[in-house]
Chains A and B, each alone.
Chain A
């Protein structure tokens, strides 16, 4: 009887110890998942809209190159890391949009890019109001008016960067994201749309470079391969020449022909991005990087992060909702810069372009 009581007492002690460990580990897991273990960066000293690059840490610079999803659950980690931007998905009403944006921008010395996919017929504002689809636009006046209308709406809510217009020549899937017509007409309409949008203080993004992204894909392949012709590339050359386009988004398509990505997805092709950079001082933005087609090229996420940054885009869209993983990506790139695999000059040049696009003078 006594032996049984002693054993039961021991079991009780073990129970309490294990329970304490389980509670402790659970709390630690929640804290980690919410990104609360990520150290906060010191505030960047901004005076009279002038930013001194040498006063920014390498982590702050890399952080500025990243756009994440602006969910409120990641409010603190995104602000603490001082990331470059937040992308907002659909919400029920205008108040939720404006409150979210106001909260994120509050006391940020370098404000976030606040981005949306209001393009063609795609809209995160479907519950708030409807816009004409790009496929229904026929004249440059209509395209300009559409740009003004959408720009004013976005600006009123607090957005400052729209991932529009689509300048792919063909849209076999949605059938409403691209402007109608041949390459010349599409270019003129895109130019007019950009002019209208940007009069309202919202930057536009021509996408998806170098074309042929909205075509039906071979279901047995992870990545689309496409032969790019002169016509596909025409809108980008046209918009660059006109000087209106402030940002271009690069796709994951493997391309050959007029523009070759040299057997890797466009977004990780340094040659392709270097060529795109010629005569273009705006931002080069990646498409979202979690497409399996891109990941399949690399043994690990770390290798993919490295390849994406090394290729030379200024802004990387990473919609991973895990703040620890975003922080990890920044650390991976920071280590690569410190060992010379990515040059500090490249990072500085990208951050300079980003800060200028945000309206700062860089010293």
Chain B
């Protein structure tokens, strides 16, 4: 037998969920976990282009995100200042993109990600 208190908690939760779903349907953009992570992460976003083992910093984070998104996969791979490796092939002659967590979380918020 479910107590009255439990019914109350369930109904309030459902009520909140209803409001959130209605707001989403109306097109309101609610903050995501990735946005919160990006906001609270105080390190500088870093992106590097890796070609034939030479890593060149890429200051244009938007361009970096788009190029990283064009790759087949991004996976965690720590290498010096970078935490993520995005690649669309193997071998040194394939261009790869390395990102730290801050940059990766930023990319995750982009509409094309």
Contacts of B24 in A (CB 8 A): 29
Contacts of A69 in B (CB 8 A): 112
Distance (whole angstroms) from the CB of A315 to the closest CB of chain B:
17
Question: In the bound complex, do residue B63 and residue A291 qualify as a contact, i.e. CB atoms below 8 Å apart?
Answer: yes
Q: Does B78 contact A (CB under 8 A)?
A: no
In the complex, A217→B11 CA distance in Å?
53
Q: Which of B8, B18, B56 contacts A173 (CB 8 A)?
A: B56
Contact count A vs B, C-beta below 8 Å: 128
Interface string of B56-87 (1 = CB under 8 A from A): 11111111001101111000000000000001
Stretch of A8-16, A100-108, A150-158, A337-345 at the chain-chain interface: A8-16
In the complex, A279→B57 CA distance in Å?
38
Q: How large is the interface on B (under 10, 10 to 19, 20 to 34, 35 or more residues)?
A: 35 or more
Distance (whole angstroms) from the CB of B38 to the closest CB of chain A:
13
Q: How large is the interface on A (under 10, 10 to 19, 20 to 34, 35 or more residues)?
A: 35 or more
Stretch of A225-233, A304-312, A316-324 at the chain-chain interface: A316-324
Contacts of A90 in B (CB 8 A): 70-72, 88-89
Distance (whole angstroms) from the CB of B82 to the closest CB of chain A:
16
Interface string of A164-192 (1 = CB under 8 A from B): 00000000111110000000000000000
Q: Does B4 contact A (CB under 8 A)?
A: yes
Question: In the bound complex, do residue B56 and residue A121 qualify as a contact, i.e. CB atoms below 8 Å apart?
Answer: no
Q: Which of A8, A32, A123 contacts B7 (CB 8 A)?
A: A8
Interface string of B81-105 (1 = CB under 8 A from A): 0000001111101110000000000
Contacts of A175 in B (CB 8 A): 51, 54, 56
Contacts of B25 in A (CB 8 A): 25, 28-29, 32
Contacts of B22 in A (CB 8 A): 25
Question: In the bound complex, do residue B90 and residue A127 qualify as a contact, i.e. CB atoms below 8 Å apart?
Answer: yes
Binding site for A on B (CB under 8 A): 2, 4, 7-8, 10-11, 14-15, 17-18, 21-22, 24-25, 49, 51, 54, 56-63, 66-67, 69-72, 87-91, 93-95, 110-113
Binding site for B on A (CB under 8 A): 4, 7-8, 11-12, 14-15, 18-19, 21-22, 25-26, 28-29, 32, 69, 89-92, 117, 121-128, 130, 133, 172-176, 216-219, 224, 288, 290-293, 319-322, 325
